[in-house]
């Protein structure tokens, strides 16, 4: 028997593949570009390939260090991710939108995170001025202001 659902899936994959990545309707996520770089030679806080695969390990590890050991640094701070990756324009997409940096891939990969129920989903200076939806105040977590370390990983 023909698996009709599978045929439709394959067909839409083929059609999707023919659409350039920049056009809507592509199967690939459109990831908003970062607002800044760590340095001229380094984009992200770790090599970008590594971040694509392992960003969750870095932030969850950072969270555990802060929550359980009181260690506060900027390198893998969630606030810093947002400061650098999300526009501070008042109408910039929020965490629930697939145009929000974090949700761009997550929508595509069917990943759900609850982080932004408590953490700011837009740069902290803006979040301070604008109240969060639902009336709650976002957490403003103060990390120390040491400069971000260049990790010596491959530049991007
Ligand atoms: C100082 C700015 C800066 C900070 C802070 C920063 N990033 Fe990045 N990140 C970049 C740049 C630049 C790139 C390269 C892609 C680009 O230019 O948009 C990048 C790439 C990425 C990518 C790959 C995106 C893609 O296009 O495939 C992920 C995932 C990522 N960052 C997650 C994070 C997370 C999580 C944090 C916080 C722990 C973080 N970044 C902190 C600047 C930053
Ligand atoms: C380049 C695409 C991409 C970007 C951008 C991205 N993520 Fe992810 N994220 C993923 C993928 C894919 C997974 C699932 C990985 C897996 O299941 O092994 C994931 C998983 C996670 C997880 C673990 C979820 C769980 O339940 O296990 C967390 C936490 C997370 N991401 C946080 C973030 C945050 C915060 C941002 C924005 C600062 C972000 N991610 C941006 C692709 C991305
Ligand atoms: C119920 C509210 C809540 C949720 C949901 C939540 N957090 Fe937190 N998070 C906190 C609080 C409270 C702190 C501690 C604030 C402090 O002491 O700075 C914290 C601290 C952190 C820190 C350390 C501070 C920093 O940014 O360096 C990270 C990283 C972090 N959380 C990541 C996450 C991630 C990733 C998720 C989603 C998977 C998440 N949190 C979900 C409340 C929450």
16 in any annotated domain: no
Average pLDDT, the chain: 78
CA of 43 to the centre of ligand 1 (A): 7
For residue 117, the ligand 3 atom closest to its alpha carbon is 5
The pLDDT score that the predictor gives to residue 127 is: 53
Neighbours of 38 (CB within 10 A): 21
Average pLDDT over residues 7-31: 56
Q: Which carries the bigger pLDDT value, residue 4 or residue 149?
A: 149
Is 13 a member of any domain?
Answer: no
**Does residue 56 lie in a domain region?**
yes
Q: 78 CA distance to ligand 3 centroid (A)?
A: 8
**pLDDT by residue (tens digit) across 34-62?**
999 999 999 999 999 999 999 999 999 99
pLDDT higher than 50, residue 156: yes
* Residue partners of 92: CB distance under 8 A and separation at least 6: 86, 122
- 15 pLDDT higher than 90: no
Helix intervals (H) in the chain: 4-18, 48-69, 78-85, 101-109, 124-129
On whether residue 45 sits in a domain, the answer given is yes
Residues in the chain: 156
Phi and psi angles of residue 139, each rounded to the nearest 5 degrees, phi first: -75, 135
67 within a domain of the structure (yes/no)? yes
Domain that holds residue 93: 30-135
Distance 44 CA to ligand 1 centre (A): 4
Are 79 and 143 in contact by the 8 Å Cβ rule? The answer is yes
Question: What tokens does 27 get?
Answer: 């199967």
Please check whether residue 47 lies inside any domain of the structure: yes
Interval 105-124 mean pLDDT = 95
Q: Is residue 8 part of a domain?
A: no
Among all bound ligands, the one having the nearest atom to the CA of 103 is 2
What is the domain count for the chain?
Answer: 1
């Amino acid at each position: 028997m023909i698996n009709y659902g599978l045929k439709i899936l394959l067909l839409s994959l083929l059609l999707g593949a023919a659409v350039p990545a920049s056009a809507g309707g592509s199967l690939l996520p459109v990831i908003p570009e970062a607002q800044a770089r760590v340095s001229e030679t380094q984009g992200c806080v770790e090599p970008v390939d590594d971040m694509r695969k392992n960003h969750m390990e870095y932030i969850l590890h950072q969270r555990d260090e802060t929550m359980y050991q009181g260690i506060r640094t900027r390198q893998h701070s969630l606030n810093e991710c947002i400061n650098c990756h999300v526009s501070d324009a008042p109408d910039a997409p929020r965490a629930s939108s697939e145009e929000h940096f974090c949700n761009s891939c997550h929508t595509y990969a069917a990943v759900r995170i609850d982080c932004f129920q408590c953490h700011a989903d837009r740069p902290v200076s803006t979040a301070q001025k604008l109240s969060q939806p639902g009336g709650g105040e976002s957490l403003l977590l103060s990390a120390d202001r040491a400069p971000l370390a260049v990790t010596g990983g491959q530049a991007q």
